[in-house]
Structure 1
């Protein structure tokens, strides 16, 4: 009797792609992925080895071709905007074979005409009872172009990149089978970080007009609806030396004078594709359509999330159970599937198991346990932090910043100005930073962003109310000779509304071997508004290592910072008790004093009255609070004192535009004047204060 597989063999199966906007195509026989090569033209199928890559994601376009009745076709558009198809030089390829069984090389093609047979595909059902798809696959299909040829993944025993060809021969059908993995969409991914060679090429370009290979960039500005001119005279061109898409975006943003999204277009009829990876190695001319950030056309763009393929089954455990009940001929393939995704299954099972349960280490696939009881290895986590930037800081109120290379924490030094990274022996407020967010108008910082959307920046406020930042940038600090200068990072006052040196952006790092520790939210690179990076330096002879900023991306490991979330405290922390040194009296020599400037705020947090000052000796915050409260009450009319009470919260303010920070630790060693503001306890402003819980356990990891 004819089986279902035999009846459906080689029949259209286009519904596999229904609702699919982005897909990865996995070779059924070898578990390798169809990839658009970095040369911009070649196509291979390679092993991703657990690394998510935009090069292995294809945008799926649907098209109805003329006919009676019209036929549905698929077009697969790669990361460079070009389409999967055969080369046009078929005469030479087929000349030696009268039966037309010669193979054409698959390539990434421009779409210069409305309909190109070589890039228009139909999905066909495959034959054979041995076919089943992985748990994350939508189906297993053959891809057949409009010219009657099949997409074939060849084997190359001597190389890690296997060639892909197109021919009309159905022999060796296993090499024609492709698994369809739907890829979900993402809000807006961060562009890859510019690597050392990219920055070196940029420096060479500024130093010499002839150094380095250059490519022509032709670009045109689109209006807010996405319309742009096709006339050659309306396109602008320039020479560009580098492969970094980050540097190219900054170059074009400077030319058009607003924040942009870069889209590539391959051929006159090619669709716009957001450029999310570095430029191809080839030096072909690249056609860029510039969209204004947050315009209507920009908001309609969709971005793939290659790190998370969509699972087609209800749960991983069900997938393993159904696989285990298959015939013995599928056992080897099941084991390969289990090894690749076993750690995800263990995570899914752990959510429904008691916390004290110990995972078994047997090989029973029906139970869905890992081979190793130790759980996921380090390499399984390498993608968790490397693809994220500003979203790492979403909903974070307080954070510790840990050096990825050294495992040390960024501290606000007790001198009140210095910053260092050192070990965290005890819970310390000096290693906790309040995270402020600020939207800054795009442009030169004067508030006129030329209509462009504002950019989100981060400010890190330390225990003394001062902000993390380097010295103000001078002309040339981000380019040329000065970019390599190490500038010391300090705790800075905020005397202006916008200070470029204390405003930071989190950038996804460019290394694939990066993973975060179990208590880290993500691994990022911090770059200030002046284009300089926060670097944790090494000091072999000191336990407290310096921190600097510079415009050089060398030694990227020293630029990586892990975000460790610190939860808000449910109560109000106790102030440290005064020590004997704070209470003692010096007889021989007069004690040096610092100036304390103080003022009281009303219940809404608005400053009342004028600033007063007095000299203060010692470092005790508890004694300082009592001294300031006593002076405030003495200057308050007796009739108003009962309403004020005697309990106040002492806050510091660093600079005219600094935010109020509760002073929870003793005063810094330096004798700089300190500006403090008193808030009445349980007032509206006081109740809005948030305190960090430095003793709380770190967040546990999430496997979702």
Structure 2
């Protein structure tokens, strides 16, 4: 676990392909991409003890959701895809087998940061697409033990000074506005489908917040704009005086929300804990500098 300090952020780069493990913008999938200058490529480290062993959890710096092994094959057979999918999921219960990993060093030279990541069921995280570059998948597989497609280079991400700026408000395109004018009822129905329920609570200065459901408030949110969400949650204060942290499941570690909401999680319940800027809790948040060289 030496390459995975608790509370820090890392990139995971495929030794075989040179691409980085990404949390997809739909909030569900996981894939391999060339760029690392994105919060979707950053993974926060969390340690958990299970029995006498120490395990590793990895949750995305974009949406806070956890890297999880599944038993799901692709809906259609994809050439070069081995094993079952990996996905993003919440930390909803203490039965966390699918999101628990152990890291084993495989580097041959001093200072090598190559690891294999093994799930509790014995399957290993692997890249796909060595000979099919359009296959950007990642999966878990129990065979092919010697393949370097299972080797991941762990690259530490330094913390940045302060929180990054939020992206600008998402505004409808000209064609969307024209469609809304011409086909108003159709667009209104689509807007309703994209509405999510936001459950939120305000933490005290030290970051403590109530767990009781009745202490949390709820609002509907249409669309994905994190700017719009911050404006909605800034009750009685200026919007720039609050920091939103997303909680992916009851036991999920809080993750600063500084990107637009996932595109594919319509209808979900999203839980937000609100910090006030300048408090010890807000000052203790760690923001990965994904633009670092």
Q: TM range, normalised to the smaller chain?
A: 0.7 to 0.9
1:72 pairs with 2:54: yes
SS in 1 for 2:262: coil
- For the 8 Å contact 1:138–1:181, the answer to whether it is kept is no
SS in 1 for 2:168: coil
SS in 1 for 2:272: strand
1:154 pairs with 2:108: no
- For the 8 Å contact 1:217–1:237, the answer to whether it is kept is yes
In the alignment of these two chains, the number of paired residues is 269
* Residues in 1 aligned to 2:105 and 2:9: alpha-carbon distance in whole angstroms: 20
1:176 pairs with 2:150: yes
Aligned residue runs from structure 1 range 307-456, under 5 A = 307-309=291-293
SS in 2 for 1:186: coil
CA deviations 1:6-38 (Å, max 9, x no partner) are xxxxxxxx2222477110000111110000000
* Residues in 2 aligned to 1:295 and 1:160: alpha-carbon distance in whole angstroms: 46
CA deviations 1:190-217 (Å, max 9, x no partner) are 112224338989xx8xx99945232221
- For the 8 Å contact 2:6–2:47, the answer to whether it is kept is no
* Residues in 2 aligned to 1:217 and 1:20: alpha-carbon distance in whole angstroms: 26
Per the normalisation by structure 1, the TM-score is 0.36
* Residues in 2 aligned to 1:123 and 1:20: alpha-carbon distance in whole angstroms: 16
Aligned residue runs from structure 1 range 235-254, under 5 A = 235-253=216-234
CA deviations 1:156-178 (Å, max 9, x no partner) are 76664611111222445211000
For residue 263 of structure 1, what is the aligned residue in structure 2? 245
Aligned pair partner of 1:217 in 198, 201, 224: 198
SS in 2 for 1:278: coil
CA positional deviation for 1:289: 1.0
CA positional deviation for 1:125: 2.2
For residue 21 of structure 1, what is the aligned residue in structure 2? 8
* Residues in 2 aligned to 1:248 and 1:132: alpha-carbon distance in whole angstroms: 48
Q: Rate the CA distance shift 1:278–1:56 in 2: closer, same or farther, 3 A.
A: same
SS in 1 for 2:165: coil
SS in 1 for 2:281: helix
Per the normalisation by structure 2, the TM-score is 0.82
* Residues in 2 aligned to 1:160 and 1:277: alpha-carbon distance in whole angstroms: 26
For residue 286 of structure 1, what is the aligned residue in structure 2? 270
CA positional deviation for 1:182: 0.3
For residue 165 of structure 2, what is the aligned residue in structure 1? 190
1:302 pairs with 2:286: yes
For residue 81 of structure 1, what is the aligned residue in structure 2? 64
SS in 1 for 2:169: coil
CA deviations 1:560-618 (Å, max 9, x no partner) are xxxxxxxxxxxxxxxxxxxxxxxxxxxxxxxxxxxxxxxxxxxxxxxxxxxxxxxxxxx
The unaligned stretches of length 5 or more in structure 2 are 74-81
SS in 2 for 1:17: coil
* Residues in 2 aligned to 1:154 and 1:143: alpha-carbon distance in whole angstroms: 15
Aligned pair partner of 1:113 in 93, 98, 105: 93
CA deviations 1:286-343 (Å, max 9, x no partner) are 111111121221111110000115xxxxxxxxxxxxxxxxxxxxxxxxxxxxxxxxxx
CA deviations 1:623-665 (Å, max 9, x no partner) are xxxxxxxxxxxxxxxxxxxxxxxxxxxxxxxxxxxxxxxxxxx
* Residues in 2 aligned to 1:293 and 1:141: alpha-carbon distance in whole angstroms: 38
Greater strand share, structure number: 2
Q: Kindly indicate whether structure 1 or structure 2 has the higher relative contact order, using CA contacts under 8 Å at least 6 residues apart.
A: 2
